[in-house]
Amino acid sequence: MPRPAIGRQALTAALLVLASRPASAEPLPGGFVRLRELAPAIAQDMRYATPFNFTGAAVPGYGRGECVLTRIAADALIRVEKRLARQGYGLKLFDCYRPARAVAAFIDWVKRPGAPNLGRIFHPGIAKGDLVARGYIAGNSSHSRGSTVDVGLVPAGAATVPTPVDAGPCDGPSATRPHETELDLGTSFDCFSEKSALGHPGVSNEARRNRALLATAMSAEGFRGYGKEWWHFTLAKEPFPTMPFDFAVE
């Protein structure tokens, strides 16, 4: 009996998954998945695997720009994407699971004189040495538990916007801050500024609408937001609520 033909869409999706997985990738701990293998269409720009982040260099633990999450968080995020698609929007991931060594590297970066620094973009007007005291950098991160994401909003079907290489201040005018999406969200991702707060009155009406749209969709699928950062969400019923991990993203 001849085997049934494989549908073109199914074959294409399978090839995308195989192409996205590094040949030398180590198996993930139990309960974790690579989001790209489940939902290759969700946009990713894993910023800490690149030099374009507040430290000015790729961050230890990010050997590859890949969104890794607990399976339950990945499934919830896929439901968010489907919910937004019905409204003409989609997600763009900037960070997912964060190795504990990366969190430690942030603290070391604050203390290290002469370290690379893109402060003119990511923390304009705030000295690097003040970032911990002002709550922008912490010694522990929910990202290390695998069910927290930093995520933005894009128009459904929009062309991929590459990782920026330079820009003006992250809380400046939309036309000059880092270009991440065609939508105005008030600031760029990882902007250490009061304007990053979800309900800040100093951003445009469009930005407030887009932030609310993202927050509503994430909340509907079980994520809790963080009031000081419009992009930061943690799954309320995370499977490892007290356990940070430190495996590398490969």
pLDDT in tens, 134-186: 999 999 999 999 999 999 999 999 999 999 999 999 999 999 999 999 999 99
Cα separation, 217 vs 83, whole angstroms: 7
* Residue 168 vs residues 30, 41, 45, 100: alpha-carbon distances, Å: 41, 29, 19, 30
Catalytically active residues are 229
Split into its structural domains, the chain has a count of 1
pLDDT at 9 over 80: no
Q: What is the mean pLDDT of the chain?
A: 92
Please state, in angstroms and rounded to a whole number, the distance separating the CA atoms of residues 94 and 238: 19
Distance separating alpha carbons of residues 36 and 14, to the nearest angstrom: 11
CATH code of the domain in which 117 resides: 3.30.1380.10
Tell me if 80 is assigned to some domain: yes
Reported as a single tens digit per residue, the pLDDT across 208-239 is: 999 999 999 999 999 999 999 999 999 999 99
Q: Is residue 244 part of a domain?
A: no
CB 162 within 8 A of CB 134: no
Instruction: Give the pLDDT of residue 10.
Output: 43
pTM equals 0.90
Band (109; pLDDT cuts 50, 70, 90): very high
In a domain? residue 12: no
- Backbone torsions φ then ψ of 34, nearest 5 degrees: -90, 120
Question: Residue 24: pLDDT band by 50, 70, 90 thresholds?
Answer: low
- Look at residue 17 and tell me whether its pLDDT is greater than 80: no
Find the domain containing 45 and state its range. 31-235
Beta strands in the chain (DSSP E): 32-34, 43-44, 68-70, 89-95, 148-155, 223-226, 229-235
Say what the pLDDT of residue 128 is.
96
3-state secondary structure of 41: coil
Residue 49 covered by a domain: yes
**18, pLDDT greater than 80:** no
pLDDT tens by residue, 185-197:
999 999 999 999 9
Q: Long-range pairs for 163-168 at CB < 8 Å and ≥24 separation? A: 163/45, 163/47, 163/50, 163/52, 164/52, 165/52, 166/121, 167/121, 168/121
Does a structural domain hold residue 136?
yes
Rounded to whole angstroms, what are the CA distances from 213 to 160, 185, 207, 220?
A: 21, 11, 10, 11
Q: Tell whether 192 is covered by a domain.
A: yes
Q: How many Cβ atoms are within 10 Å of 88's Cβ, its own excluded?
A: 9
Does the residue 60 lie in any domain? yes
What pLDDT shows up at residue 37? Answer: 98
The verdict on residue 248 lying in a domain is no
Question: What's residue 26's pLDDT?
Answer: 77
The separation between the first and the last C-alpha atoms of the chain, rounded to the nearest angstrom, is: 42
Per-residue pLDDT band at 5 (split at 50, 70, 90): very low
